[in-house]
Structures are given as C-alpha cells and as structure tokens.
A and B are shown apart, each in its own frame.
Chain A
C-alpha cells in the first residue's frame, strides 16, 4: 500500500494502528454538526466514549445493579466483584497495588482528598507548598484553601516562554520549609509534559512529598507510579474515554494507612457506636457512602480498551497528529502557537492575530470542528503568558490526519472572514 493509500484507508503510517476501525468503536463520532461531519478536537476537556464503556454501564444497570460490600445476595456479589475488579484494573494501569487505589468523583476530588486528609496533618504555619505556573485551577485552589486553614504558604515555580518548567528555578524554590510539591504531569492548556520523575527525585532527596495531577497525562502517557516514586497520583475517568463522575487517587499504602478519613459515612467504618467509631482500612476508609459503582466499572472497561489497543501505539498515533497539526497551523499566516515545549502531549493552543479565540471557535464550530476557547481553567498561566485566552485543539486516539486538514482549513476560513 502506498503512503497515500494508507492514509486514505485510515491507517497511520508509522504504526499498525487502524484509526478508521477505532473510530467505529465511538458512536458519538458518527454525526453531523451544522451539516458537517463532527471533528471532535476538545479531548482535553473530555473524550468520547467507546461502545465497550457504554456497554459496561448498560450491563451493570440491566443485570448486576446492587450495592457493594454489603449484600449477601447474588447481585451484590456480582456488583462487588465488578467494582473490586475495576480497582485491580486501575492498579495494574498505574503499576500500583489495589489497596492503594481510592475511587473519587474525579481528579479534583482526588486532589482535595490528598490535601485535606494527608497534607493538612503535616503542615504547620510557615510551611511551604510548591506549585507551578502551569497548573489547572484544580491543582491550585485546594492548596490555597489548605494554606488558609494551616497558615502554610504557596510558592510558585516559573516556566519559560515555551511553556516548560524551569527546573533550576524550581529547585531553588525548595526550602527547608517545603513539605509538598503539587505538579501537573501534563499541562492541560499547553500540552507540556513535565519532568515529574526528576521532580520526584529532587523531592525524595529532601523528604518532600509529591502529588502528581495526572488528569491530562492519563490518556496520553504511560504511567508507572512505582517508577515515578510519587506519593500521590490523581486522574479523572472521563478524560480517559471513561464515564464522568469517576476518578482515582493513588496513594502510597504507608501514607494512606496513616491518613484520617476524608468524609464520614457508610462503608468507610469498621464499627460505629455513639461513643466511638472505628474506621475501615484504606482504600475503603476514603470511600464514604455508596460509590459510583457503574462509573468504576466503566472506567475499567475504558482502561482495558486502551491497553488492548496498545498505549505505545496510541502515543505514536497522537504524536503523528500533533506533528501534523503543528506543521499545518504554523504555515497559516497570523497563527501563533502557544506552548512549544520540546516534550508535549497532543494539545495545541494557539492565537490568531486580531481575532479573539471565541470568534475563532465559533467559526470552527460552523465547520463541524469542536475546540475549546478560553483560559482553560488556568488563569494564572494565561496571566503569565499575557493572553486573555487561547483556542485549543486537543487530539485523541480516534482523530485522523484528515481531521487535522479540516482544522487547518477552518482556521484559514476564520482568517478570511475576519480578514
């Protein structure tokens, strides 16, 4: 097959990854928007769901719907088995142990849990929490709240104009009072892949704890929490082709065991009397109330789907999309790419001379192209870059090189319209 024929057949050139077959797994991709085929490039906000995930949700609710950890009956047994099976799947995905996996509502709740149940107990007045300039609000605000509660101080590590962390500056900001570093694995606004392993090494040498916000990394980067040696790792299911409302906090077993509960309720207790309550072991201690059982099962289905396709194949395909999109947009006069780090995930932020990102996004929407325009929940980063907003195209495993061309054509159309 010639390279052109391979593209036409939807094959990615550098791998055996068959994107047209993959697209068939995602029902939502097959639709017209404003009369044009949908080109979904807002994957950093949330991804579409493959049929296996939808089937997992449907099957749970049609066959196995029961509460977990309590019933003697058959359906409860099935629900419990599926829910705990999901925990094992997530553990394998991160290279962790199942009892180190806490199900949460999402990355945001995972970070809040680590902040309140772990960091709060180690912070004294004047202690420091180190963040970076490219954090999402969900990895800023929980620490701000905590700083107010404890008298700790937030210290911010800067980036360069390409959107890369300045590692020497980061290291210089580590002081004897630094107790915790909270850092994104991948920037949601710029796509920068941060050197989190190096940060963890620096932290380890100084006895500093590290939380990695992996919300944007999980769909793009292979994660190994043992190799990273981070203390906490947080991510969301819905950015990983799983359902909304489910997420994960990985925590080292030794830390989870020492931590007090995050919320009180059912399932997180061993025994309750009005005088005293004995708490359950991790991870159950941190999962008060009936959990999002279907969500956890759906997330496990998504992870199995991804690992079935091959995480490295997906990464290769997305790298190809990113390279093509970077080239295509760079060639358009008036386009400035925002975030040009040498290590990037498939996120492309840009601004168009004289045209506001919102107007760009409206024109693109008319061409069937879904992108995000705005500050991407990273206002301090936008402030640092001196921009009120950017337009962001973010790619997923099901996007194609043809869609990159549609994006480029739509951006040219915006330029013509606003000429």
Chain B
C-alpha cells in the first residue's frame, strides 16, 4: 500500500453511519410518478426530445445533452410523459426549473439494449457509450463523467473516491459491499480509456467490511490498490483526497488533470460498468435514507426522478417528527422545505433528522478569533478573518485572503465555539464578489465604449477641421492665381464691403439716390412678382379646392391678400406712369414700328446679297433704312422725353 500524506485541518464529527450501513440495499418500488429535472448535472441543461403524451420505455432517451458539458436523460421506467413543466428542483434555494413528468405504468418494460465488450471496441466507441448513458459524477457535484475521461493530458493515476467522509451517508459503503465486482469492472473500463494508469481506491478506515470485500475482490488484479485512509472529515473532498494519496495539491485555479490525476466516485465506476457491459443508462442510484425520523434507515436503489416524499414513505420516515430534512450529508447538504422534489443523479443521502438530533443553533455569539476554525480549515485559509471581511463587506480583502479557495466543507462552522454560521457568510461573500465582478466588467465595458466614442468624435472634429483648412488654402491659392492673372481687378470682397458701408452711412438717401429708371423698374418688378405670386397661390387654391384640402381657408386668405397686393402694385405702377405722362402703349407701338422697320431692312439686305437687280433693291434698302432710322429716332426722342420728365419729377 502506498504512502498516506496528511492534509491540514479536518474535524471528527460523530459518524452516525451504523444506523444505515447494516441492512442490504433495498430496491424501492416503482413510484407512480417520476419527475426528471432537465438539469441534474453541472453544465448545460438537456433538451427534451419528446412531447407530452408520448409513451416511453424504460431506458429510452427522453432528453439529450446540449453541448460538451451536459448529459443525456433517460426514462427510468416505462410509462407516459404527462407533463413538461416547471417544478421545484432539489436546490438550496428551492428554485423551479423545467422537468419531464412521467406517469409510470408499472410494467418496467425495457427498451432494446445490449452491452458491449469493452476490449473489442475502440476508445471512441467506449467513450460514446458512457456519454450516451448520461453518466455524471455520483459523489455529489454531478459533473458529466465522459468529459473527465477525455483528458487532454497524460493521466498517470486514477483515484477512485470511496472515502465517504460525510457523517450519516453509507451509500458508497453498501455499494462496495454488494457490487465490488461491477465497481472493479467499471474501474478497468476507465483505466482502458485513460491508457491504463495506476489506480488507487481511497477509502476511510471506518468501513472495515467494505475494505475487506474490496481487497478480496482485487486479489489477482494488478494496477488497482486500496488505500485505507484515516477517518477525518473532509478527506473525501476531491482536493483533500488527492493530497492524502499523492501528497500533491491541485494548483489554485487548476484541475487534477494538471497533475496527471483523474478522480472518480466509486458509484460512477459502477454506473460506467452498467452502461458499457449491460447497455443500461444511468436511471437509478443508491441513496441513503437515515436520521432518527426514518424508521427503516438504510440504502435504497432508487429510480432517478423519484419524489423524496415517495422515498420517505417507502423508508417509513415519520414526517411529524422530522425537523430538518437534508438532501446530502449534515456537513454540506442543504435543507429541503418541500419534499415534493426529485432524487437526482447526485442525490446520495436523504437525512430526516429529529429536532434533537440536529438541534438548531440558538443565538450565535461574537467571534473571539479563537482560531479553532483556522486549525480545522482544510483549505488552509483564515476563516476568522474571512468572516470579519464578509461581515464588514470588505470583499477585496476577502478575495486577497483566498475566499475563492473555500470549499464550503463546514469544518470551521462545525467547530466554532461561538456557533457562527461561517459558511453562510462565505457563500454570501462569494455571491457578492461574483455580482461585483460582473458589475465591474459591465462598467469597464461601458467605460471603453464611452471612451471610444469620445475619441471618435474628437477624431471626426479634427478631420473636419483638416478638410476645412485644406479647402481654405486651396481657395486662397485660387484667389491668388486669379489676382495674379488680373491684377487691376477690384477685390470683390473689398468692393462688397465698401458697398455695405456706403449703404450703412446713407440709408435714408439710398432710395432717392436711385436713378429714376430704377424706381420705375422696381415698381415694375414688384408688380410682376406679386402677379406671379398671385398666380401661384391661385393655382394652389384651385388645386386645394379640387382635392378638398383642409388648408383651403388659409390659401384663400393668402390669395385674397395677394390679389390686394397685386392690385396695389399695379395701381402704384400706373400712377407712377401717369404722373410721368408716360403711355406704355405708345412706347410699345413705337418699339414695334422700329423693330418692323429693322426687319424689313434685314430682309432687303439678304435679298440684295442674292439679287441681280441690285440697284432697285439698293434703292429700296435706302428707303427702308431711312424709315428705320426715323422710327428709331422717334423712339429715342420719346425715351429721352420720358427720362427728362422723370428727372423733373424727382427734382421737383
């Protein structure tokens, strides 16, 4: 037998195993209803494959693993799926979650299944067989076993955990006594998958009978040895067992495989043997029912999904005298307040204790830093300091005191003379650290986003500024080039500025300074503009009327106003013309006459170019030119007269 190393701390709570380790394992009758949570393991929940109303056979796959770290779920007995709904889960906080409910038919009708010879198949097939059987760690954590069997590193040692250090629990003890051959077969399959590493079965020295049976069964088998370790809680903790058997510590943040080790529970080994050799998926397990309230304390082969209430009834648990119902052991288990929850793949114990057996702690006293918790802490922490930090919510200090390495074994709280619920403080602190970490990450993300945005805005601004500057330079260059080409040209900006200044200096005289023609023109323009506006508005109005638009009224008002304006403008223009003595009609006639004469001249000139009788045409041209000149003279005279008149009116 190999050397046994010590580990720091540990406690010796009363074992209380004899109540349940005497009777042989009893197979519990098939309950009327099975409730199978879709998430019984560590990792992603399985996905239900069947619909309500489907008939299922014992061992039939009903929910499939989702992803690498997940596990299949099979029907533990034949029957009908009657519901897929949220039910209370076996969880410390009594969470609810999706469950498949099967009403059993009592037939126990198996689906077709057959085992394989592990030696005749390759590793992939063997692994697939274990994976599809939905096997998870049976010791309590429920980690999918196939994942651990697919180690990426070289495994030098397989550790089989049969320590069962928690008081009261005897499921592994009985399992070894009754199924040692299956367990060894399972171990051999695991060894085959891991390239035949040496195997040590770690078992506490309080299980003499199991040790004897196991040693007997191992005679003549090489590579597997039994290591009997001193009874001390929590020697069955994975990290502690590794230290006991190898003297090594799993590095912080690492896994046993980093040391070339893999650890499996003894129950898992048996489940693997059943899956490979018999083709039976994981649909039942051995669960201890014990405590003073249980009349038939012992171990039961229970179908997964059996309600705790059914199991308690079968084990004749007196509900009236049960004060604390614990799933798991007294050190790390959690209380159930509702017994309508399922036995799942990792349920190793139901502890129905009377009020005296696990008496509730009265009031806890102040911490006197006695340090007894430090003495017993298997993680070598300073529990008393962690307690003060958790209480004061100094989570950074708690973290620097390795809060994360606490395995929540409860040794500190068990020994505490002030009866402080230390583990609860650590769970609280861990939860807060997790939340704070998530919050910090969110805040960091938000900060990064904000800073990136700010930087982008600044960059955009700079780029714009650059572009603007480039444009300004280009424009200046163009201006300079233009000036160089035409040096006499007046600077347009300067000229504009000068005009503006002029206007500013003499705003009152600007109108009078306007030439008379301009005033006349302005009037004309104003009249024309108002006319155009009126036309537009009128058109809009008619359109609106046609389409029944709701703005007709306002348009009508606009048209009316514009009509008034146009009339006024026209009146102003006419008045101005009358005042000047001008007659637009006469001017137009003169213009027409002049134009006509011009046309005649041009026509004749054209004719001349092609005509032979030049003399005649020349004479005609002369006459026409004269007529044109006369018409022009008349027009000029008229225009001159009108200008003079305007000037007179202005002056007067």
Q: Do A and B assemble together?
A: no
